């Protein structure tokens, strides 16, 4: 096969060691092979960097094994052309398997250009990605703590949730803060705490707050409340950092929000996960496949399966949330399309189909720097 990179290296990365195989031109068109093992401490990675420079290596390939490849990539990124490959796509044939064989196999595939490069965004987008993913985790923890408090209230026969639709709204928080501070809520507290339309339910709210809270249950509620306050403060700080990281991409951020169902949070997740430079994806079909929103193509014994592929779960979840938001809107083409598919194939498949549609539209908008136009050409982009 035609040699694409004459001086290349393959790496088998683990938690404690990195096995590196370097292939360089030898005499009489022979290939010289040298394999070494390095540690994963920072000083060992710089030793690896110096050795690769000494061998005049130009291209490197490694598997995307967990998070272990990230520190290696961060150090080598500015010195070599580094390719991070999907481990499933560069598996060796079954047989004797060692770390040395794996590194050599990766180097051989890279040498003839048979390794498909995984999408690795720029450093600032990677930082934005970390912040958005952490925000998602914090929101999940916040929801869990709120549910836990409601469970403790129900166990104490405090029926606030049956009277107030949002226990953690303005009035609900006032009542909970009074309960945590004083240990009980009387008629005067209800009068001071309840705001807006809930004032018409003051009597019912007063009755719902008469429970049988024990000291143990009150301690549990206080502990959850302290955690909620910490999480809310953390989320506020994360929002500020995310907003600062989005400043260079303000145009794309506002463009994505013109798509029905795409909120500020969803737009931030899309930029963090797929970036803003669509040249790294040959077409919208490639992007859809990367996000796990393309139908599968699996056939065995005449039986076919079109189950959607595995992909970037963070992008997929954000787009599915936008799809459900579209389903609740009216008087737009995307909502009509959702319910048309749902009537034939069900809501879940309609959600996946709509998520793919949103991604295709976003791909065209980011590529052409155009705002969303109802019924516009971006729907047919590829």
Q: Is the pLDDT of residue 382 over 50?
A: no
Residue 27: the pLDDT is: 81
Q: Are 31 and 140 in contact (CB under 8 A)?
A: no
Sequence-separated (6 or more) residues with CB below 8 Å from residue 100:
12, 19, 21, 35
Q: Is the pLDDT of residue 182 over 90?
A: no
Q: Is the pLDDT of residue 377 over 70?
A: no
> β-strands 8-13, 17-25: how paired?
antiparallel
356 or 311: whose pLDDT is higher?
356
Give me the percent of the chain exceeding a pLDDT of 90.
66
The pLDDT of 205-221, averaged and rounded, is: 90
The pLDDT of 60-78, averaged and rounded, is: 91
Give dist(CA 241, CA 85) in Å, integer.
Answer: 30
Residue 376: the pLDDT is: 54
Q: Among 167-171, 343-347, 377-381, name the one with the lowest average pLDDT.
A: 377-381
pTM confidence score: 0.86
Give dist(CA 101, CA 92) in Å, integer.
Answer: 9
Q: How many CB atoms lie within 10 A of CB 337?
A: 16
pLDDT tens digits for range 9-57: 999 999 999 999 999 998 877 899 999 999 999 999 999 999 999 999 9
Residue 39: the pLDDT is: 95
**Closest to 284 in 3D by CA, of 270, 298, 294, 273:** 294
Q: Among 141-155, 218-232, 326-340, name the one with the lowest average pLDDT.
A: 326-340
Residues 213, 214, 219, 224, CA torsion sign: negative
160 or 310: whose pLDDT is higher?
160
The pLDDT of 111-116, averaged and rounded, is: 91
The CA R_g of the chain, rounded to the nearest whole Å, is 28
Burial call 18-47: b when 16+ CB within 10 Å, e when fewer: bbbbbbeeeeeeeeeeebbebebeeeebee
Residue 93: the pLDDT is: 67
pLDDT tens digits for range 248-302: 999 999 999 999 999 999 999 999 999 999 998 999 999 999 999 988 776 677 7
| Cα angle, residue 130 at apex, residues 129 and 133 outer, rounded to 5° | 85
Angle at which helices 333-345 and 347-368 cross, to 10° = 150
Give dist(CA 237, CA 295) in Å, integer.
Answer: 39
Burial of 50 (0-12, 13-18, 19+ CB in 10 A): exposed
Burial of 236 (0-12, 13-18, 19+ CB in 10 A): exposed
Give me the percent of the chain exceeding a pLDDT of 70.
96
């Amino acid at each position: 096969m035609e040699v694409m990179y004459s001086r290349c290296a393959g790496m088998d990365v683990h938690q404690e060691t990195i096995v590196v195989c370097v292939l360089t031109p030898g005499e009489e068109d022979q290939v010289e092979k040298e394999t070494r093992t390095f540690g994963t401490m920072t000083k060992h990675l710089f030793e690896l960097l110096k050795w690769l420079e000494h061998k005049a290596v130009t291209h490197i390939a490694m598997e995307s094994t967990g998070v272990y490849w990230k520190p290696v990539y961060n150090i080598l990124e500015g010195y070599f052309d580094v390719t991070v490959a999907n481990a499933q796509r560069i598996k060796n044939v079954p047989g004797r398997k060692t770390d040395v064989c794996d590194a050599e196999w990766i180097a051989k595939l890279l040498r003839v250009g048979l390794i498909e490069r995984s999408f690795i965004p720029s450093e600032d987008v990677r930082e934005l990605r970390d912040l958005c993913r952490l925000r998602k985790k914090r929101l999940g923890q916040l929801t869990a703590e709120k549910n836990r408090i409601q469970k403790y209230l129900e166990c104490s026969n405090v029926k606030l949730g049956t009277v107030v639709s949002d226990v953690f709204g303005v009035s609900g928080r006032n009542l909970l803060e009074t309960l945590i501070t004083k240990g009980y809520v009387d008629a005067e507290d209800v009068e001071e705490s309840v705001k807006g339309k809930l004032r018409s339910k003051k009597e019912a709210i007063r009755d719902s707050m008469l429970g049988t809270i024990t000291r143990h249950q009150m301690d549990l509620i206080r502990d959850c409340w302290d955690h909620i306050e910490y999480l809310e403060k953390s989320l506020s700080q994360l929002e500020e950092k995310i907003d600062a990281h989005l400043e260079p991409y303000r145009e794309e951020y506002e463009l994505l929000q013109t798509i029905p169902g795409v909120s500020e949070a969803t737009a931030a997740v899309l930029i963090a996960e797929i970036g803003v430079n669509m040249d790294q994806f040959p077409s919208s079909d490639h992007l859809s496949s990367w996000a796990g929103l393309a139908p599968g193509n699996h056939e065995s014994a005449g039986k076919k399966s079109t189950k959607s592929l595995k992909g970037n779960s963070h992008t997929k979840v954000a787009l599915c949330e936008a799809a459900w938001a579209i389903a609740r809107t009216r008087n737009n083409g995307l909502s009509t399309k959702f319910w048309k598919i749902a009537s034939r194939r069900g809501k879940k498949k309609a959600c996946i189909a709509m998520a793919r549609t949103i991604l295709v539209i976003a791909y065209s908008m980011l590529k052409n720097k155009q705002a969303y136009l109802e019924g516009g050409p971006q729907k047919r982009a590829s």
